[in-house]
Amino acid sequence: MSDKTTPRAEARQRRRRRSDGERSRGAILAQATRLATVEGLQGLSIGRLADAVEMSKSGLYSHFGSKKELQLAAIETAEAIFADRVTDPAAGAASAQERLRRLVDGYLGYIAADTFPGGCFFASALAEVDMQPGPVRDRLVAFLADWVDGLARAVRDAQAEGSIGGDEDPDQLAFEIEASLFLANAQYVVMRTSQPLERARRAIDRRLDAISVR
């Protein structure tokens, strides 16, 4: 009896196929997120991506039924990368103020590491589609609102633990922190020097040091 015909071998083959499919989908999407920060999310057509990953258009259509589906899948992949690089490492901080500072470090590190060739995926993508209503824009707007809310939550928690003074408006402070990060990214993309990242760090450190209780 050939191994190929046993039920276990068949299951193994099915698993392998599924795993190849998953790996392939993951690799395609990783490439799609990078491409989107260079040529734009609108430039992320099935045809353009097929060239970039050297696959047939029909092969890509088997993964993604439409351009919109591909765009949403690319955003989901970028969110997972962002969590891996920025938000997850901060989650284990011993205090809320430490979490806030780790979010800042994580974001600046994610830019400095050229995680995406065109800088922050979300800043790049939202600037492009901010005037185009639909699920792609909605998802990006929600992601960025969550990010700023996460900064504000860390401020609020730091106030609760007593490490940041209680008279600061957490949403105002989160705006100011995000402002420095957001401009640092935009300037880094065109300058490709660490100067804007250092400016953002200096601005944020000075602001936080001035209001830290301990």
Contact 66, 136 (CB under 8 A): no
Residue 190 interacts with a copy of itself (CB under 8 A): yes or no: yes
- 55 versus 79: smaller Cβ distance to a copy of itself: 79
Instruction: Give the x/- contact pattern for a copy of itself in 28-57, rule: CB under 8 A.
Output: ---------xxxx-x---------------
Least distance CB 123 / a copy of itself (angstroms): 7
Residue that is written with structure tokens 């993964």 in the block: 63
Residue that is written with structure tokens 């799609």 in the block: 32
Footprint on residues 138-157 left by a copy of itself (CB under 8 A): 141
Q: Which of 130, 146, 161, 205 binds a copy of itself (CB under 8 A)?
A: 130
To the nearest 10°, report the CA torsion of 89, 91, 93, 94.
-150
* Category of 45 on φ-ψ map: left (φ > 0), alpha (ψ -120 to 50) or beta: beta
Cα separation of 138 and 38, whole Å? 21
- Residues near a copy of itself (CB under 8 A) are 37-40, 42, 117-119, 123-124, 126-128, 130-131, 137, 141, 171-172, 175-176, 178-180, 182-184, 186, 189-190, 196, 199-200, 202-203
